[in-house]
Structure 1
Amino acid sequence: MGVVPEAIVAMLACARLGAMHSVVFGGFAAAELAKRIDDCNPCVIIASSCGIEGIGKCVPYKPLLDAALQSCKHLPQKVIVLQRSQLPAELGPDEESWQDAVDFIDNSALYRECEPVASNDPLYILYTSGTTGTPKGVVRPSGGHAVVLQYTMERMYACAPGQVYWAASDLGWILGHSYICYGPLLNGSTTVLYEGKPVGTPDPSAFYRVMAEHHVTTFFTAPTALMILRREDPHGFYRKQYDLSHVKAMFLAGERCLPEIQRWWLRHISGNANVTGAIQPIPTPVRNVVSDNWWQTETGSPLTGMQIGLSEDGNKLPPIKYGSAGMPVQGVDLRILRIKDEFDEDSVIDANPEEAVPGEIGNIVVKLPLPPGIMNTLWNDEERFFTAYFRRFPGYYDTGDTGMVDSDGYVHILSRADDIINVAAHRISTSSIEEVVVEHPEIAEACVVARPHAIKGNVPVVVAVCKHHCRQETKHEICDDLVTSIRNRVGSFVSQYPQNVVFVSRLPKTRSGKVLRKMIRSMIVYLMHDPTHSSSSCPIPTPATIEEEAVKYEIWDSVRKWAAANPSSE
C-alpha cells in the first residue's frame, strides 16, 4: 500500500482482531507477489491503486496485483483498493474501494473489542528472500515483540513518549513494521510517515525539511540514502537551510555503513567540521549521535547497536566507533565462529564449532536461548526453519552474516555468508534472478553474484553460459532482454544493468553439481579493487570441492576482461 496512514490502519486493525497481516513491498513484480499470496493464502487483500515516488511519478500497484492474481492458485475472498487521486484503478466485480468499505463501517456502527491472544500467537508474517528462490515467511510472536520494541525505543533509540520518531523506510520491510508502526506507537511516540525518495521530492532538502518541520527527535534510515544525499548535496547546501538542533540521534541499518559516510553525515548534521578519526565520543547532553546498528527481518529488532538512551551523560556511554554496528544488546549472546574451509561452499553441519579470537573474521551466530521478539517459526515450514537457522551450528542461531568482534567488544558486520544480495537495503535472492535468466531461449545456465557498488552497497552480476548456437553479435541483445525480464519479473529495485552480464563458456561447480558462487564473487571483489589487474594467474584460492580446476582459470580470464571493460557499476 505504500507509506500511507491507511496502511497503518489496516495493520493495527488486523492486530485488534487477532488476525495476521503480511505487508508486501510495492516494488515487487507480479510473479514475486504471487509467490507470497500462494504461500500465506490471505482471506483479504488490501492494496493502493498506486504508489508515489516523486513529483509526477506514480507506480501503478493495481495492475501488478491483477497480474499476480491471474497466476495464483489461491484467490482471496475480497480485494479492497485504496483509490488514490493520482492514479485511480478500475475495480473488478468482486473488488471494493477502501472508501466504500469505511463508509459501510461508519454507517453500520460496527465495533469490535480488542481480541486477547497468547504471547506466542503470531502478529504477522513478513517475507524475506530465501536461497531456494522461495521466500521465507517469518512469523512474529506478539508478546515478546511488543516488549523488545518498547525497550529499544527507550534504551536504544532514546525516544521518549510524546517525542517524534521517523524511520525513513517502506512499511513492507521489517524497519517499517517495527519502527514506523508498532515501536513508536507502543512507546507513545509520534511516528512520521514519509512517501518518497531522499532526493527529487522535490530536491535534496527533503529529509532535512521533514526533520525540521516535525521536530524529529530520532531519525532512522539506510546508509544508501546518505550516499545519495552525499552525491547530490556534498557540501550541505540544502542542509544549511534548516535548524536541526533538536535532533538527538540518527541511526543507520540495512547494510554496513562506511566510516566516511557516517562521518560526513555527522559533520553536516552537527555543523562540526572537525569530525575525523575512528572514534567519536558522545556529547553531554546526548545529541547529534550517528550510530549504526544491526538486525534482520528474522530478529525484528536490533541484535547490536549503541544504547544511547541509557544515560543523558555522554561520559557514561561508550564512544561511537565508525565502521562498527555497536555492541550486543542485552539478552543477545553473540559469538563469532571460525570459518573452516571445508564448510565454505556446502551447507553441512559443523558439529564442533570453534570460537574465533577478537579481530578474527568468522560466522556471526547467537547462542541459544534467543532473546524475546525473534521469530518463532517460518510460515507452514518448520523443517526449513530448523535447517535454515539452527542445523549448521547446533546450539546456535545462524545469522548468515560474517564479521568480527574487536578487542573493545564492538561488532563489525562485513557481508552475507549466503547468496542473498543486499541492494540498497533490499535483500534479493540470487535464485529469483537466476530463475528469470535461464528462461531466456539463448541461455543454457547462469548464476548471479554480488558486485560492490559505491552507492547501493551491491548490485547483481549475471554470469551466463550461452547455448552453443548463440552468435557473438546477439549477446548485446541478450543483455538488454535479461535486464528487461529481471525488472519486469522481480522488480526494478534489483538494479540489474546490461554491462553487469558476463558471458562464460561454463560455470565452476563442485563434484555434487553445486555452482561455486563464492569463488566467482571473490574474483569480482578482488578485481573491483584492482580493475587493471592483467595477470593470468588467479589470486583466489582453489576450492577443495571444485570438480575441474581448469574451469577456475577460464572464469578468471573472462571476469578479468569484463572488469577491465566495466570498471564502474553503472
Structure 2
Amino acid sequence: LGVRKGDRVSIYMPNTIEAVATMLACARIGAIHSVVFAGFSEGALRTRIEDAKAKVIITASYTKRRGKRIELLPTVQKAVDSLNFVEKIVVWDRDGDTLTEDMGDMFVSFGDMVKSSQPHCEPEIMDAEDPLFILYTSGTTGKPKGVLHTTGGYMVQTYFTSKVVFDLHEDDVFWCTADIGWITGHSYIVYGILANGVTSLIVEGAPDYPDPGRWWSYVERYRVNVFYTAPTAIRMFMRYGEEWPSRYDLSSLRILGSVGEPINPEAWHWYYEHIGGNRCVIVDTWWQTETGAHMITTVPSYPTKPGKAGKPMFSVEVDVVDKDGKKLPPNTIGFLVIKTPWPSMLRTCWGEPERYEKYWNTIPGVYFAGDLASYDEEGYIMILGRADDVINVAGHRIGTMEVESALVDHPSVAEAAVIGKPHEVKGESIKAFVILRKGVEPSDRLLEELKLHVRNELGAIAVPDEIEFVEKLPKTRSGKIMRRVLKAQELGLDVGDVSTLED
C-alpha cells in the first residue's frame, strides 16, 4: 500500500478484532490512524477523511446490528468520491460477496493482505512525541476537531490508569462495551488494556438483541472480571428489569466501571445491586477525548459516593473555578479546569492550532474542560454536564452546530437551533427548533423528512427526538442564537440575563 510513518489511515470498521488489529498495525509502522465510528453516515465520514487527508481507507463490507446487515463499503465509496488523495481502499470482505475484479485496483482485499503478509513486521522507531492517532470529537463550531494524541505519554497514562483504576491482573478478562470509534474504545479496549497484557473482550452489535440478556450471557460465558459501560446502557437495562441479569451467573465480576457521562444515583445503586451483586466495586470515571485517559475517578480502595465521579487521578491537578479562574468554595457550581499538563493530553487539533489554544485561553493558564462541576469537603467532584453547546447523547458528544448545519442543509429550512434535554435513558436527547423557508408549510411528512436528512448526513445518533417548527429564534444583537434561552424555556427555568437579546 505504500503507507509510511506519518501517513494518515482512516479506519471505518465494525467493533471487531479485525479493527483492533488494523489500529495496532498502523501504530506498528508509525502511520497515524483516524478511526471513524461505523455508525456515521457518508457526510460525517467524508469530513473526517478530507480533514486528515487519509492516504488509505480501511473498511469492511458491512457491520451487523439487530440481525440486519448494514452496508459500510457503499458509504465509503460515496464519501471518497473526488477525493484524489485517497490512493487505496482496503476491504474486509466478510462473506466474500462484495469485492469483484471489475471494481479496479483501488480496492484491496483485507483477507488477501493478511494471507500474503509475513508473521513479523519490524516496528518503526518512534519518538515519544510522534503522533499515534487523530480522533475527531464534536465542537461548538460545527466542524469536528481532530484531537491528536502522541505515542509515549498516551501509552504511559492509558497503561497506568487501566492498571490502577481497574486493579488489573494479568489473568483478568476485561470488557469495555464502547465502540472503537470513540476514545473509550481506543484507550480501554485497545491500548491501555492490551499494554497490561490483559484479555480484552470486544463485541459487535446492539446490547439488547436478540434479547436483553445478551451482555450478561457474555459475562457468564467468558467469565468477565472487569466490566466498563455507560450510564445510558445501565438505564436501558433498568427498564427491562432485574430478571434479565438474574438469569445469568455474574459471580466472576469484581470491578464495575462507568464512563461517558455522569451516572445518576438511581442507576448507580441498580448497577451495584443487580450486576455487581452488592459486592463489586464501582469506579466512576471522568475524562474526555482530549485528555486521553482517566482524570477524575474513584480507585477501588476509595470509599464511593453515588453520583460523584471521585477525586483527581494521581498527579492530576483539578479545580472548580469561576469564569475569571478564581477557585470556588466547596459545594459551589463552577467550571472544571485542569491546572497542569499530564502525559496523555492532546497535543494539538489537527491543522487547527487555534482551536487547541482555546482550551488554554478560555480561562488563561489552565485547561478548560467545558464541564460544570462542584466538589465537596472531602474533595469528591460531581460532574454536572456540559457548559458549552455540546450535547451528550448516550455518552456520545454531538455538537449542536453539526446538527443545525445538517438541518439547514435541507432546502425547506431557513434556520435551526438545537438543544439538549434531560432524558432518563440517554442522558440527553436532542430537540431542534426550525424556521422554515417562506412558502413552506409545516407537516408531519416534512418532520420525518428532516429527521431522515439528519440521519443521512450525520448518522442515527444525531437525529433529533423532537422537532418544533417556530416563527423566530432568540438571538443576540450580533445574530448569535441564544440556545440557553430556548433550553430554559423548554425546561421551565429562569431565562437569566437577556440584556443582549435582539427582541
Q: TM-score, normalised by structure 1?
A: 0.83
- Structure 2 residue corresponding to 1:143, chosen from 139, 152, 159: 152
Asked if 1:544 corresponds to 2:492, the answer is no
Instruction: Please list the CA deviations of residues 273-320 of structure 1 after superposition, one character each: whole Å capped at 9, or x if unmatched.
Output: xxxxxxxxxxxxxx5112321110011111101111xxxxxxxx3321
- Structure 1 residue corresponding to 2:197, chosen from 188, 195, 207: 188
The answer for the alignment partner of 1:536 in structure 2 is: none
Query: Once structures 1 and 2 are overlaid, which stretch shifts more, 183-192 or 129-138?
Result: 129-138
For residues 14 and 517 of structure 1, do their structure 2 counterparts lie closer, same or farther at Cα, with a shift above 3 Å needed?
A: same
Measured after TM superposition, the shift of residue 478 of structure 1 is 2.3
Q: 1:280-299, aligned counterparts within 5 Å?
A: 288-299=280-291
The answer for the alignment partner of 1:280 in structure 2 is: none
3-state secondary structure, aligned to 1:239: helix
Counterpart residue type for residue 415 of structure 2:
E
For residues 81 and 318 of structure 1, do their structure 2 counterparts lie closer, same or farther at Cα, with a shift above 3 Å needed?
A: same
Instruction: Please list the CA deviations of residues 422-443 of structure 1 after superposition, one character each: whole Å capped at 9, or x if unmatched.
Output: 1111111111111121133332
Give the structure with higher Rg (CA).
1
Asked if 1:81 corresponds to 2:91, the answer is yes
Instruction: Please list the CA deviations of residues 150-207 of structure 1 after superposition, one character each: whole Å capped at 9, or x if unmatched.
Output: 211221111112211110011111011001111111001011011122211x211122
- Structure 2 residue corresponding to 1:359, chosen from 322, 325, 331: 331
3-state secondary structure, aligned to 1:63: helix
The answer for the alignment partner of 1:60 in structure 2 is: 71
The answer for the alignment partner of 2:4 in structure 1 is: none
The answer for the alignment partner of 2:30 in structure 1 is: 18
The answer for the alignment partner of 1:555 in structure 2 is: none
- Structure 1 residue corresponding to 2:14, chosen from 2, 11, 15: 2
Counterpart residue type for residue 48 of structure 1:
A
Q: 1:547-558, aligned counterparts within 5 Å?
A: 547-548=502-503
Counterpart residue type for residue 85 of structure 1:
D
For residues 519 and 187 of structure 1, do their structure 2 counterparts lie closer, same or farther at Cα, with a shift above 3 Å needed?
A: same
The percent of aligned pairs where both chains have the same amino acid is 37
- Structure 2 residue corresponding to 1:393, chosen from 363, 374, 389: 363
Measured after TM superposition, the shift of residue 248 of structure 1 is 0.9
Instruction: Please list the CA deviations of residues 414-462 of structure 1 after superposition, one character each: whole Å capped at 9, or x if unmatched.
Output: 1111111111111111111111211333322111111221111112111
Question: How far apart, in 2, do the equivalents of 1:441 and 1:42 lie?
Answer: 31
Counterpart residue type for residue 385 of structure 1:
Y
Instruction: Please list the CA deviations of residues 22-80 of structure 1 after superposition, one character each: whole Å capped at 9, or x if unmatched.
Output: 111001110110000111111211101111123x212111111111112x544411111
3-state secondary structure, aligned to 1:263: helix
Measured after TM superposition, the shift of residue 470 of structure 1 is 3.1
The answer for the alignment partner of 1:375 in structure 2 is: 346
Asked if 1:410 corresponds to 2:380, the answer is yes
Contact 1:292-1:326 within 8 A present in 2 as well: yes
- Structure 1 residue corresponding to 2:413, chosen from 437, 443, 461: 443
Q: 1:331-350, aligned counterparts within 5 Å?
A: 331-339=315-323
- Structure 2 residue corresponding to 1:34, chosen from 46, 58, 71: 46
Contact 2:39-2:459 within 8 A present in 1 as well: yes
Question: How far apart, in 1, do the equivalents of 2:83 and 2:246 lie?
Answer: 54
For residues 90 and 171 of structure 1, do their structure 2 counterparts lie closer, same or farther at Cα, with a shift above 3 Å needed?
A: farther
Question: How far apart, in 2, do the equivalents of 1:467 and 1:495 lie?
Answer: 21
Counterpart residue type for residue 347 of structure 2:
N
Contact 1:127-1:135 within 8 A present in 2 as well: yes
Counterpart residue type for residue 481 of structure 1:
E
Contact 1:50-1:88 within 8 A present in 2 as well: no
Question: How far apart, in 2, do the equivalents of 1:494 and 1:271 lie?
Answer: 35
Contact 1:402-1:416 within 8 A present in 2 as well: yes
Contact 2:40-2:459 within 8 A present in 1 as well: yes
The answer for the alignment partner of 1:561 in structure 2 is: none
The answer for the alignment partner of 2:9 in structure 1 is: none
Instruction: Please list the CA deviations of residues 309-356 of structure 1 after superposition, one character each: whole Å capped at 9, or x if unmatched.
Output: xxxxxxxx33210111111111211111125xxxxxxxxxxxx42221
Counterpart residue type for residue 349 of structure 2:
L
Instruction: Please list the CA deviations of residues 209-238 of structure 1 after superposition, one character each: whole Å capped at 9, or x if unmatched.
Output: 111211211110111111111112x1x222
The answer for the alignment partner of 1:486 in structure 2 is: 454
The answer for the alignment partner of 1:117 in structure 2 is: 126
3-state secondary structure, aligned to 2:469: strand
The answer for the alignment partner of 1:423 in structure 2 is: 393
Question: How far apart, in 2, do the equivalents of 1:441 and 1:381 lie?
Answer: 30
For residues 89 and 229 of structure 1, do their structure 2 counterparts lie closer, same or farther at Cα, with a shift above 3 Å needed?
A: farther
Measured after TM superposition, the shift of residue 522 of structure 1 is 2.1
Contact 2:133-2:148 within 8 A present in 1 as well: yes
For residues 87 and 484 of structure 1, do their structure 2 counterparts lie closer, same or farther at Cα, with a shift above 3 Å needed?
A: farther
3-state secondary structure, aligned to 2:35: coil
Question: How far apart, in 2, do the equivalents of 1:443 and 1:126 lie?
Answer: 31
Q: 1:445-464, aligned counterparts within 5 Å?
A: 445-464=415-434
3-state secondary structure, aligned to 1:321: coil
Question: How far apart, in 2, do the equivalents of 1:270 and 1:24 lie?
Answer: 33
Question: How far apart, in 1, do the equivalents of 2:61 and 2:302 lie?
Answer: 47
- Structure 2 residue corresponding to 1:323, chosen from 295, 307, 320: 307
Over the aligned positions, Cα root-mean-square deviation in angstroms equals 1.7
Contact 2:454-2:463 within 8 A present in 1 as well: no
For residues 261 and 495 of structure 1, do their structure 2 counterparts lie closer, same or farther at Cα, with a shift above 3 Å needed?
A: farther
Question: How far apart, in 2, do the equivalents of 1:267 and 1:2 lie?
Answer: 32
Could you tell me which runs of 5 or more consecutive residues in structure 1 were left unpaired when the two chains were aligned: 273-286, 309-316, 340-351, 528-538, 549-570
Contact 1:220-1:251 within 8 A present in 2 as well: yes
Question: How far apart, in 1, do the equivalents of 2:91 and 2:35 lie?
Answer: 14
Asked if 1:228 corresponds to 2:236, the answer is yes
Contact 1:38-1:74 within 8 A present in 2 as well: no
Question: How far apart, in 1, do the equivalents of 2:29 and 2:403 lie?
Answer: 37
Question: How far apart, in 1, do the equivalents of 2:397 and 2:56 lie?
Answer: 26
Q: TM-score, normalised by structure 2?
A: 0.94
Counterpart residue type for residue 435 of structure 2:
V
Measured after TM superposition, the shift of residue 90 of structure 1 is 5.5
Asked if 1:244 corresponds to 2:254, the answer is no
Question: How far apart, in 1, do the equivalents of 2:88 and 2:394 lie?
Answer: 34
